[in-house]
């Protein structure tokens, strides 16, 4: 008996060493943690339960039958984050470069199936050289099995990807189908074809970092939702994110203890809006002042900064925030900001997270690059996402809400539950100057007349009261009491029930 117990221990010790000490040292030398160290930091202490520690590949080509490391390059299992269950897989770069074999894929699929069945998030830590070259099509089949499960899990359980090393070729499509992708600066990259292929096909010379590093994907492509300095920070931030999310689409997000008075009055908000309507101000100030303890978890902070997306809590409950940012491009909607916000709104709606929309939008960005880029379809994504969302929706218009963008930004007409405006709100088809120049074109040569018409238009429309008279604004509120009003609004909507007509699925403009 003692021998058997000892054998188990010995086998475990060997399995835990993955590709061996030399390769572990090399992983550390690059500033990267090992697959198991990452799991330890991600999960609560001693909460990890491993599956398939001894699973080995079945390949017999290229001498592979002589190298059968236990676990086959991926560590899988489940554990808890602040006491709440999550499934996890972590690719082990020290074993065949973390490459994906048929059996490696089977291990991932097993935890994906369990996560869907048992209703808990899946966190994937990617650090892999891609398809296991020795296995050929068996490896490709394995990828597709993982992809299929990513699709089935979408909208059922939150899926989070951490990219902590290479992620190239078709391998990128598994993270791409998850809800959030986070990268580590300087040590991770993602691309469909690497620098060598790019050079051969297009003659472009580009480094792996330029082509698919964290900066590229958080600032240019928007593939990634955030980038962190190192593995430790990335894992800590994912723990923080998980705290905002429900375990699955049938549960509400967790309610956390809060130490912030829901009725807290912020007098400084009364002067947030500058005198001059063209002067920007920082919308993040409003978000922080509304949120419990000022805590805001921003998603896609470095991309399309003219719109802000992220999570706060109100009375301890998660709320998704979408807010125009007047500091960037005057807060207009364009292709990038519409896509960014649409995806965020759809995530919130999948997982029963109420949405707070803060509006200061002068309209859609004009120009050929926008039209050629399909701003019509991309803008429609946001409109569609808001219109189909059945979660509680509370909107506050702080200043401009012009034109189609007024409609898009969770207006009453898109089933907004509470639509508030500050007294500084201007709800109109367009700004007074532009409007005057169109409807009083004949007076364009006469500056005095145009000034008078502009003033007239401003008096008529540069306020929230016309919309309030029509019931499109439920109430004009004091800026200082925004937190109280919004918290009470969401509290009143906790039992909201709204269903869309039966359909197989919708056909959102893509």
Specify whether 425 is catalytic: no
Q: Output the smallest distance, CB 74 to ligand HXC, in A.
A: 13
Specify whether 263 is catalytic: no
What are the residues binding ligand HXC (CB under 6 A)? 23, 96-97, 99, 129-133, 140, 143, 166, 168-171
Residues forming a β-bridge with 273: none
- Say how many C-beta atoms besides its own lie within 10 A of residue 193's C-beta: 14
Backbone angles phi, psi at 468, to 5 degrees: -65, -35
Cα gap 186→210, rounded to integer Å: 10
Complete DSSP assignment for 170-218:
GGGHHHHTSSEEEEETTT-EEESS-HHHHHHHH-----HHHHHBHHIII
Q: Output the smallest distance, CB 243 to ligand HXC, in A.
A: 33
3-state SS assignment for residue 132: coil
Task: Give CA angle at 79 (74, 81), nearest 5°.
Answer: 120
Specify whether 320 is catalytic: no
Which residue in 252, 505, 245, 248 sits closest to 388, CA to CA? 505
Specify whether 141 is catalytic: no
Complete DSSP assignment for 343-398:
HHHHHHHHTT--EEEEEEE--BPPSHHHHHTTHHHHHHHHHHHHHH--S-EEEEEE
Query: Which of 120, 168, 405, 468 is flagged as catalytic?
Result: 405
Complete DSSP assignment for 43-61:
SPTT--EEE-TT------S
CB 42 within 8 A of CB 25: no
Question: How far from chain centre, in Å, is Cα 312?
Answer: 13
Complete DSSP assignment for 305-352:
TTEEEEEEEETTEEEEEEEE-TTTGGG-B-HHHHHHHHHHHHHHHHTT
Which residue in 177, 90, 98 sits closest to 139, CA to CA? 98
27-to-50, 101, 231, 456 alpha-carbon distances in Å: 22, 21, 12, 68
Q: Output the smallest distance, CB 166 to ligand HXC, in A.
A: 4
Cα gap 53→72, rounded to integer Å: 9
- Say how many C-beta atoms besides its own lie within 10 A of residue 497's C-beta: 5
3-state SS assignment for residue 399: strand
CB 329 within 8 A of CB 246: no
Query: Which of 170, 316, 373, 434 is flagged as catalytic?
Result: 170
For ligand HXC, give the closer residue by CB, 96 or 351.
96
Residues catalogued as catalytic = 169-170, 404-405
């Amino acid at each position: 008996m003692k021998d058997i117990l000892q054998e188990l221990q010995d086998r475990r010790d060997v399995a835990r060493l993955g590709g061996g000490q030399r390769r572990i040292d090399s992983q550390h030398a690059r500033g990267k943690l090992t697959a198991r160290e990452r799991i330890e930091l991600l999960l609560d202490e001693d909460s990890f339960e491993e599956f398939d520690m001894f699973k080995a590949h079945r390949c017999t080509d290229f001498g592979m039958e002589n190298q059968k490391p236990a676990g086959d390059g991926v560590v899988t299992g489940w554990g808890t984050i602040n006491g709440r269950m999550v499934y996890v897989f972590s690719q082990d770069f020290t074993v065949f470069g973390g490459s994906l074999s048929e059996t490696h894929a089977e291990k991932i699929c097993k935890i994906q199936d369990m996560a869907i069945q048992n209703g808990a998030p899946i966190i994937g830590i990617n650090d892999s050289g891609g398809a296991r070259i020795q296995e050929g099509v068996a490896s490709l089949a394995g990828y597709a099995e993982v992809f299929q499960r990513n699709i089935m899990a979408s909208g059922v359980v939150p899926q989070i990807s951490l990219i902590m090393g290479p992620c190239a070729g078709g391998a990128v499509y598994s993270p791409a189908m998850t809800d959030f992708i986070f990268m580590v600066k300087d040590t991770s990259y993602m691309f469909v074809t690497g620098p060598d292929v790019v050079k051969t096909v297009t003659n472009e010379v580009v480094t792996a970092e330029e082509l698919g590093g964290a900066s590229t994907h958080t600032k240019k492509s928007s593939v990634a939702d955030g980038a962190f300095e190192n593995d430790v920070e990335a894992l800590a931030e994912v723990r923080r994110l998980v705290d905002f999310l429900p375990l699955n689409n049938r549960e509400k997000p967790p309610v956390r203890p809060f130490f912030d008075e829901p009725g807290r009055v912020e007098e400084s908000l009364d002067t947030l809006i500058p005198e001059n309507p063209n002067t920007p101000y920082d919308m993040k100030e409003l978000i922080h002042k509304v949120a419990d303890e000022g805590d805001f978890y921003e998603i896609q902070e470095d991309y399309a900064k003219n719109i802000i997306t992220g999570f706060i809590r109100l009375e301890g409950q998660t709320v998704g925030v979408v807010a125009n940012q007047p500091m960037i491009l005057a807060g207009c909607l364009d292709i990038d900001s519409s896509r960014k916000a649409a995806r965020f709104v759809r995530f919130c709606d999948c997982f029963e997270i109420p949405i707070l929309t803060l509006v200061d939008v002068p309209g859609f960005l004009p120009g050929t690059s926008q039209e050629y880029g399909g701003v019509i379809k991309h803008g429609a994504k946001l409109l569609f996402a808001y219109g189909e969302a059945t979660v509680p929706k509370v909107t506050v218009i702080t200043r401009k809400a012009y034109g189609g963008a007024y409609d898009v930004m969770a207006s009453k007409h898109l089933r907004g539950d509470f639509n508030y405006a500050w007294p500084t709100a201007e709800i109109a088809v367009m700004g007074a100057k532009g409007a005057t120049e169109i409807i009083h074109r004949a007076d364009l040569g006469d500056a005095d007349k145009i000034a008078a018409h502009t003033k007239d238009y401003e008096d008529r429309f540069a306020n929230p009261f016309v919309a309030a008279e029509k019931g499109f604004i439920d109430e004009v509120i004091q800026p200082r009491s925004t937190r109280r009003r919004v918290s009470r609004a969401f509290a009143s909507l906790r039992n909201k029930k709204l269903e869309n007509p039966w359909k197989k699925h919708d056909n959102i403009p893509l």
